[in-house]
A and B are shown apart, each in its own frame.
Chain A
Amino acid sequence: MPKVFNWQLGREMDYPYEQALPEKQIGMVFDTNKCIACQTCSMACKMTWTSGRGQEYMFWNNVESKPYGTYPTAWDVAILEKLGPQTWEDGVYTGKTIFEAADGLKEKMLGILPDDADWAHPNIGEDQIAGGSVAQGEHLNEPIHKFWYFYLPRICNHCSYPACLAACPRKAIYKRQEDGIVLIDQSRCRGYRECVKGCPYGKSMFRPNHETSEKCVACYPKVEKGLQTQCVEQCIGKIRGQGWISLGDKVREDHPIDYLVRVRKMAFPLYPQLGLSPNVYYIPPIHVPADYLEQMFGPGVKEAQEAYKNAPNDETLRGLLVLFGSSPEIMERFEVKNGVARGYNRENKMVAEVPITEPLTLREAKDIRLDVYRMDVT
Chain B
Amino acid sequence: MRAASLAVLFLFLFTACGGPATEDAGEQAAPEQPAAESAPGMSNQIRAAYRSEGIPYDPDDKAWKEIPAARIPLSPQGIIPPNGGGSVAELGVRAAHDGENLAILLEWKDKNADREVGVATFRDAAAVGFPAVETDMLPSPFMGDEGHPVNIWQWTADFDANARGMSGFDERYPHTEGVWIFPQDPGVTRQVRAWRGTEPVMEFSAKGFGTLQRHDSQSVYGLSQHGDGTWRVVLRRQLSTGIPEDTLFRPGSATHIVLAVWNGSMNEVNGKKSLTMNWLPFELEPTMVAAATVAP
Contact = CB atoms under 8 A, between A and B. Distances in A.
Nearest to A211: B117
A52 B181 contact: yes
Contacts, number: 80
Interface residues of A, number: 31
Given A52-B189, A210-B189, A107 B82 contact: yes
Interface string A334-365: 00000000000000000000000000000000
Contacts of B211: 170
Interface in A93-108: 104-108
B120 A114 contact: yes
A284 B83 CA distance: 40
B189 A209 contact: yes
A36 B283 CA distance: 69
Contacts of B179: 56
Contact of B120 (A105, A106, A116): A116
A114 B211 CA distance: 26
B270 A194 contact: yes
Contacts of A193: 120, 269
B189 A51 contact: no
Contact of B81 (A51, A107, A205): A107
A67 to B, nearest CB: 25
A53 B181 contact: yes
Interface in B39-86: 78, 80-84
A208 B119 contact: yes
A220 interface: no
Given A106-B84, A107-B81, A194-B82, A208 B189 contact: no
B197 interface: no
Interface in A1-57: 51-54, 56-57
Given A56-B173, A108-B81, A193-B269, A116 B185 contact: no
A105 B81 CA distance: 5
Nearest to A50: B182
A171 interface: yes
Contacts of B269: 192-193
Interface string B177-212: 001111001101100100010000000000001111
Interface string A196-213: 000000000110111110
A307 interface: no
Nearest to A109: B81
B28 interface: no
B2 interface: no
> Dominant SS at the B interface?
loop
Interface in A175-203: 190-194
A68 interface: no
A119 B118 CA distance: 12
Contacts of B80: 169
Contacts of B209: 169
B176 interface: yes
B239 to A, nearest CB: 28
B85 to A, nearest CB: 12
A113 interface: yes
A45 B114 CA distance: 34
Nearest to B211: A170
Interface in A203-230: 205-206, 208-212
A81 interface: no
A169 B83 CA distance: 11
Contacts of B189: 52-54, 209-210
Contact of B117 (A52, A114, A171, A208): A208
Interface string B127-171: 000000000000000000000000000000010000000000100
Given A51-B181, A190-B212, A209-B169, A169 B118 contact: no
Nearest to B269: A192
B26 interface: no
Nearest to A187: B195
Contacts of B270: 169, 190, 192, 194
Interface in A107-137: 107-108, 113-116, 119
Contacts of B186: 53
B141 to A, nearest CB: 18
Given A114-B120, A170-B210, A106 B81 contact: yes
A171 B173 contact: no
Contacts of B169: 54, 208-209
A53 B193 CA distance: 14
Nearest to B271: A169
Contact of A210 (B78, B81, B192): B192
Contact of A51 (B83, B172, B175, B180): B180
B173 A54 contact: yes
Contacts of B172: 116, 208
Interface centre among A104, A119, A169, A191 (most CB of B within 10 A): A169
Interface centre among A51, A113, A191, A209 (most CB of B within 10 A): A209
B84 A53 contact: no
Interface in A243-291: none
Contact of B118 (A194, A208, A210, A212): A208
Given A51-B185, A105-B78, A106-B82, 15 more contacts: A51-B182, A52-B188, A113-B120, A114-B119, A115-B120, A116-B120, A169-B210, A170-B211, A191-B117, A192-B269, A193-B120, A193-B269, A208-B117, A208-B172, A209-B192
8 contacts: A52-B181, A52-B189, A106-B81, A107-B82, A113-B120, A170-B211, A193-B269, A208-B119
Interface of A: 51-54, 56-57, 104-108, 113-116, 119, 169-171, 190-194, 205-206, 208-212
Q: What 8 pairs between A and B have smallest CB-CB spacing?
A: A192-B270, A52-B185, A51-B182, A169-B210, A115-B120, A210-B192, A170-B210, A116-B119
